[in-house]
Structure 1
Amino acid sequence: MKKNQKQLAVSKTEAEATNMVIESTGNELIIAPDEMGNHPNFIESNTSAITLEELTNKNIIPTFCDNTLTISHQNFIGAVSKVAEQIFGELTPVECRVSHPIIGRVPSAQNKKASELREDEKTVFYQRLAWVAHARNLTNTINGQTVNLCIGGVRAYNEDKLYRPQTPMKFKIFVGWKVRVCSNLCLTCDGFSGTIECMTEADIMQKALELFSGFNPRKEETLGLLENLQSTEISEELFCKIIGRLRLYQFLPVNEQKALPSLNIGDQAVNTMVKGYVSNPNFGKKEGEIITCWNLLQLANEAVKSSYIDTWLDRNRNCTDFALGIQQAIEGNDTEGYSWFLN
């Protein structure tokens, strides 16, 4: 099957078995390639893909020092997904990315060579997890690009104090629009929980309900806000000024940085933005065309996909704030100091 094929036709039985139905035509179902896993990852960095089944069956669950069980990755996903389905309807299968594996072995295999270990003698848990799922019936178009409403979360065990008796555990939950062609998430403040502390799955569900219920009435407004970014052009000269200021920002004294909008886009991400401006086929410069604030947002989002899992969401939301702020500055409506990046 060709990689550049836009749609895959599969039998009805096969599609139902994999739970990936989008639309039917006669005896065949047409499946969007991103639901078949044939699309860019929503985060890169040092992460690897893992199925929910593997996470459930092979990932051991850490405990606190008093042997109190932590909330497992899969239970975190299940709690948020249950609430999301109540608010947004049916979800697509969950995509999971994990990093920082803690690998071990059972005591009976302590004297074996690594090459001699059987699968049932190996243990692993993944310290960090990011996951996403799409609302099947909430798809739209922004500036010619298909976007899906996306929900998900992040969990990093390194933020939990496992060396103590049970304490609240930290999670992050989000909902926002994700661009299908590049899997870039466009996260806004009203779709991001920040760090939440929970003791039980019921706590997670309550926090998710508050976030999703607040975002749901404004999802079309958020879509319009993102779509409007296309109306503000950025010349190559202006883009170079913005990049220069982004580099300068990293080295400003702390007191000067505090007087400017908060920025989490590091120097490596700025380099990636420049590379994307030249070579990104979807959002980079094209002959005879000028990029817009929408392109700027996607170049920044693409760049921060190389962040570690525990910093990715904060940086992604910061990219949206930055693009919206630059738009306001270009249009002469700046009230937060983004004009500094244009001068």
Structure 2
Amino acid sequence: METEVFNSHDVILFEEQSEVQVISTDKPFIQANTIQSSLKEVKSKHVIPVFIKDNEPVISHSDFIQCTMDVASEVFRGEMILSPSVRLSHPIKGRIPTAKDKPAKELLEYEKTLYYERMAFAIELPSISDEIDGNQLSLSIGGVKSYSLDNLYNKKGVDEHFKVFIGFKNSVCTNLCVWSEGFVGDLKVKNLEQLMACMRTLFENYNATTHIQALRKLTGYSLTEQQFALLIGRCRMYNHLPNPAKNDITPLLLSDTQLGMVVKDFYRDNSFCKGEDGNINLWRLYNLFTGSNKSSYIDTFLDRSVNAFQFVDDLRDALDNRTTNWFLN
């Protein structure tokens, strides 16, 4: 199936005000240390941090999500754009001044203040889709914001930090498929206009067809169970190599715990386990990696997602060209 081209019909946009919301995913695309939320809740219930020296507000989580939706509706005019799936972590709690002397257990709801330091969100465009190895993939965009990276002790006008991505979501497992051509890992801007301009450039330059073709290539290459065992062992060894030995090796950034999840799912996952012959194709291996990555914290989630593709694509290149790859030799 060819990746669908962008049309020029009216946008079908499911916003938080709609009577029937269609959320971008009914399963969490990231799990570790996060809670589910919505754009409506973030807008209406969470206070906005400020720059201490002039009391000017930062670009808030809700601003980030909303302007991403605005850019999406402009760039992908005519496509179905679902409401964002929002995940939050690291709550920052407070209270209004009149409740400063109350014990915490006696605080009334209106006396409490709250915002979350870190946020990740994904917005699905199901009308732009394709299929790989029986898995339905939908175009997805989104980002990560952590106030901890911003210098809130300064005045408004200093750089604020964002991570933005565009890629595909595997509908079978909600794994995000992101590669370097669809990812900006440290986007620094001073205002919403700059943020929207950078996202517009990223979305317009992203080639969905090229990305799908790169993902589909993974289905044509397989590892034996013995090669898989060697791969996992080498991944565990990598971090203990002398630094000079690491220079020419693309690392896998997953933790030892996550590698353990990959091994378990190699045998047990309903969708991506090894075949009856004991082999596993690289598309399935990639999804084992991206599946275990959902246990990453918000800070490292997208970086590890991009790394997972680069790592598996390097394996494909070595198998295709019969060249040496440290993880397989």
Q: Which residue of 2 aligns with 1:186?
A: 177
Structure 1 residue 45 corresponds to structure 2 residue 45: no
Alignment of 1:62 with 2:49, yes or no, is: yes
Structure 1 residue 173 and structure 2 residue 159: aligned?
no
Q: Is 1:83–1:205's contact at 8 Å kept on the other side of the alignment?
A: yes
Question: Does 2:102 align with 1:109?
Answer: no
Q: Does 2:138 align with 1:148?
A: yes
Tell which deviates more after alignment, 164-173 or 147-156: 164-173
Question: Alignment partner of 2:52: what SS?
Answer: coil
The residue number in structure 1 matching 2:187 is 196
3-state SS of paired residue (1:170): strand
| Farther off after superposition, 63-72 or 313-322 | 63-72
Whole-angstrom distance in 2 between the partners of 1:38 and 1:310:
22
Distance in 2 between the 1:126 and 1:204 partners?
A: 21
Q: TM-score, normalised by structure 1?
A: 0.86
The one-character-per-residue Cα deviations of 1:55-89 (angstroms, maximum 9, x if unpaired) are 00111110112112100111111111111122223
Indicate yes or no: 2:83 matched with 1:93.
yes
Cα displacement (A) at 1:37: 5.4
Name the structure 2 match of 1:236. Answer: 225
Q: What is aligned with 2:61?
A: 73
Letter in 2 for 1:18: V
Q: Unaligned regions of 5+ residues in structure 2, if any?
A: 1-17
Give 1:328's aligned residue.
317
Q: Deviation of residue 315 (structure 1)?
A: 0.5
Deviates more, 1:262-271 or 1:191-200: 262-271
| Structure showing greater relative contact order (alpha-carbon pairs closer than 8 Å, 6 or more residues apart) | 2
Structure 1 residues 184-237: Cα deviation after superposition (integer angstroms, max 9, x where no partner): 01111111012100111101111001100100xx21121111011011011101
Aligned residues of 2:117 and 2:147 also touching (Cα < 8 A): yes
Pairwise CA distance, 1:268: 2.0
Q: Distance in 1 between matches of 2:292 and 2:271?
A: 14
Instruction: Specify the SS of the correspondent of 1:98.
Output: strand
Asked if structure 1 preserves the Cα contact closer than 8 Å seen for 2:24 and 2:124, the reply is no
Deviation at 1:305, TM superposition (A): 1.2
* Deviation by residue 1:253-285 (Cα, 9 ceiling, x = unmatched): 222112212432222221121122122111112
Alpha-carbon distance between aligned partners in 2 of 1:205 and 1:142, rounded to the nearest angstrom: 31
TM-score by length of 2: 0.90
Which residue of structure 1 aligns with residue 202 of structure 2? 211
Percent of aligned pairs sharing the same letter: 34
- Name the counterpart of 1:159: 149
Q: How many residues align?
A: 308
Helix, strand or coil at the partner of 2:241: coil
The corresponding residue for 2:326 is 340
CA RMSD of aligned residues (A): 1.6
In structure 2, do the counterparts of structure 1 residues 253 and 285 end up closer, same or farther at CA, with 3 Å as the change threshold? same
Secondary structure (helix, strand or coil) at the match of 1:342 reads: coil
Which of 253, 257, 266 is the aligned partner of 2:255? 266
Offset of residue 289 of structure 1: 5.3
Residues 211 and 260 (structure 1 numbering): CA distance in 2 closer, same or farther, change over 3 Å? same
The aligned runs of 1:23-34 (5 Å cut-off) are: none
CA contact (8 A) 2:238 2:251 kept: no
CA distance in 2 between partners of 1:325 and 1:304 (Å): 18
Q: Aligned match of 1:249 in 225, 238, 246?
A: 238
Give ranges in structure 1 of 5+ residues lacking alignment. 1-15, 21-34
Letter in 1 for 2:242: P
TM-superposed deviation, 1:333 = 5.3
State the alpha-carbon separation in 2 of the partners of residues 233 and 90 from structure 1.
35
SS in 1 for 2:101: coil
Q: 1:82 aligns with which of 43, 59, 70?
A: 70
Contact kept in structure 2, 1:231 and 1:292, CA below 8 Å: yes
Cα offset for 1:36?
8.2
